[in-house]
């Protein structure tokens, strides 16, 4: 599945619980009184996000990683619908975009820029969510690459510190994803 189709499937799939909330039963799983219904502004924002990811794909496929980052920054730095209100679909799109920018920066060995993007993304991914787990995983990959780079430069102590940070972040990612699986599957997700 292409990156864009995978992104679209995630956004649509994650939007369905909010779109399907029944006001007669506001506390059903995935629904609450304060949930903002996905409206035209949110749908337009999600469409814009898809288009910017497609643009980033084209730039990335042409080897223009900086251009791909610029396209994604147009998303992360643009106005969001219902400013000041945390809309799950918008927060997920932003977390995902920051993770992708971090991965692009990592491919360019720009470790600090990549870490900054992970940190920004984590502000949009609170609690046990796939997106938080993915950002922590990317953080672990950044520290793994940093460790290798430091080891290659003969900086053994710093390399080991980065390796330890990588292990910690990857452990946190696994823990978050275990919670996500457990929440999604209930008792069936509790198996080791």
List domains and CATH numbers for the chain. 3-186 (1.25.40.10)
* pTM, entire model: 0.80
Q: What per-residue confidence (pLDDT) applies to 190?
A: 55
Secondary structure string (H, E, C) spanning 54-119: HHHHHHHHCCCHHHHHHHHHHHHCCCCCCCCCCCHHHHHHHHHHHHHHHHHHHHCCCHHHHHHHHH
Among 74-78, 114-118, 121-125, 183-187, which is the least confidently predicted range?
Answer: 183-187
Q: What is the mean pLDDT of residues 160-184?
A: 98
pLDDT tens by residue, 32-59 = 445 566 799 999 999 999 999 999 999 9
Query: Is 141:165 a contact under the CB 8 Å cutoff?
Result: no
pLDDT tens by residue, 83-105 = 899 999 999 999 999 999 999 99
């Amino acid at each position: 599945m292409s990156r864009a189709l995978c992104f679209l499937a995630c956004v649509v799939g994650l939007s369905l619980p909010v779109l399907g909330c029944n006001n007669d039963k506001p506390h059903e799983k995935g629904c609450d009184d304060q949930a903002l219904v996905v409206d035209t502004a949110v749908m337009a924002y999600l469409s814009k996000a898809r288009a910017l990811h497609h643009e980033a794909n084209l730039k990335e496929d042409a080897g223009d990683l900086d251009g791909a980052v610029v396209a994604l920054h147009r998303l992360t730095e643009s106005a969001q619908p219902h400013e000041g209100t945390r809309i799950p679909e918008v927060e997920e799109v932003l977390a995902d975009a920051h993770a992708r920018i971090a991965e692009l920066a990592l491919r360019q060995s720009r470790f600090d820029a990549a870490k900054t993007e992970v940190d920004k993304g984590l502000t949009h991914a609170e609690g046990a969510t796939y997106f938080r787990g993915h950002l922590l995983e990317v953080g672990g990959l950044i520290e793994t690459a940093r460790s290798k780079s430091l080891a290659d430069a003969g900086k053994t102590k710093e390399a080991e510190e980065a390796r330890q940070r990588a292990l910690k972040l990857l452990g946190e990612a696994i823990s978050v994803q275990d919670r996500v699986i457990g929440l999604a599957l209930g008792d069936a997700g509790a198996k080791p």
